[in-house]
Amino acid sequence: MQKRKLGNSLEVSAIGLGCMGMSFSYGPAPDKSEMLALLRSAVDRGVTFFDTAEVYGPFANEELVGEALAPVRDNVVIATKFGFKLDPNGGPQWIGLDSRPQHIRQVAESSLKRLRTDVIDLFYQHRVDPDVPIEDVAGAVKDLIQESKVKHFGLSEAGAQTIRRAHAVQPVTALQSEYSLWWRRPEAEILPVLAELGIGFVPYSPLGKGFLTGKIDDKTTFDSTDFRNNLPRFTPEARKANQAVVDLLGKIAAAKRATPAQIALAWLLAQKPWIAPIPGTTKLHRLEENIGATEIELSAEDLSAIETAAANIRVEGERYPERLEQLTGR
């Protein structure tokens, strides 16, 4: 597996593994023993970068990742997140944001226990909290770094000015935000800031929450608990309109003897050497398919052709309902 560097010193596999779907969001949680085996299979295949969060479950995903990776802890990078206020009655939904320094410390201590480790490799603010100055957030993580409880500071879905302000207090190693061929907003303002400051980029949903694999169409039905049922971009009408993006990937994939998913990931890897996407999956053959994207080289001509074709495709539907979109770009 190829390696990439986030920030100045965090080396990760070029393709990481987003673990959320192993216990949260995409319908009923799969069998735990199967997910433990999948996580360990990922390590065997060279994946060293694993992404989780306390809110995934809540808590169940961190516990899963911690159990799976404990035997190989020194050989992997584990990223987790803070910043949501969880239901004190144990409900499955978050009820607000909370990035107060004392809460950040509480989350860190609890995450360390669930992850069965003494240090968090990469600690992201999951969403920017408008009620807490980002300088206070960065300062709280800086304290944790000085105490050797955290190694690196990250942000998720933060705006350019917030990134700058945080970085001035505690260097930001990575930004995790959505980025793919059907969500390219980071290109306008975010990627130039990351390049200027030397911050790595970790795209989540690099396969468009499964749509860019070519395995979903307007007739696909999702489990009633699948959060894609609530996304404007996943209405049957939007999926039908957005099939043009998948058709483009399929055409290139056929020429490269690859799959649409592999082309989507290879395109991301080709954008910048400091980009490390984290596609999620619950299936071994999909994991192997995603890893295979690192072997695909897209030439300048390939990338130009993709750019030209993509420019003529209008993606339909917002990526999130308004309530969730308001949490991004701040």
Condensed to tens digits (0 to 9), the pLDDT of residues 80-98 reads 999 999 999 888 889 999 9
Q: What is the three-class DSSP state of 50? A: strand
Residue 301 lies in a domain: no
The torsion of the CA quartet 182, 183, 184, 189, rounded to 10 degrees, works out to 170
Residue 239 lies in a domain: no
Q: How many domains does the chain have?
A: 1
Structure confidence at residue 252 (pLDDT): 95
Residue 186 maps to which CATH number? Answer: 3.20.20.100
Residue 168 lies in a domain: yes
Residue 329 lies in a domain: no
Q: What is the pTM of this model?
A: 0.98
What's the token pair of residue 193? 């800031």
Residue 321 lies in a domain: no
Q: How far apart are CA 328 and CA 3, in angstroms?
A: 29
* Segments forming the whole domain that contains residue 142: 3-207+262-296
Intervals of the chain under pLDDT 70: none
Is residue 179 annotated as a catalytic residue, yes or no? no
- For the stretch 218-231, pLDDT in tens is 999 999 999 999 99
Side-by-side strand order, sheet with 17-18: 17-18, 49-51, 77-82, 120-125, 150-156, 172-178, 200-204
Residue 275 lies in a domain: yes
Task: Please name which of 16, 53, 25, 74 lies closest in space to residue 223, comparing C-alpha atoms.
Answer: 25
Residue 245 lies in a domain: no
Residue 29 lies in a domain: yes
- For the stretch 273-328, pLDDT in tens is 999 999 999 999 999 999 999 999 999 999 999 999 999 999 999 999 999 999 99
**Residues 183 and 313: beta-carbon distance below 8 Å:** no
The catalytically annotated residue of 56, 124, 179, 204 is 56
Q: Which residues contact 110 (CB under 8 A, 6 or more apart)?
A: 54
What's the token pair of residue 188? 């306008």
Structure confidence at residue 91 (pLDDT): 84
β strands within 87-222, DSSP E? 94-97, 120-125, 150-156, 172-178, 200-204
Structure confidence at residue 92 (pLDDT): 84
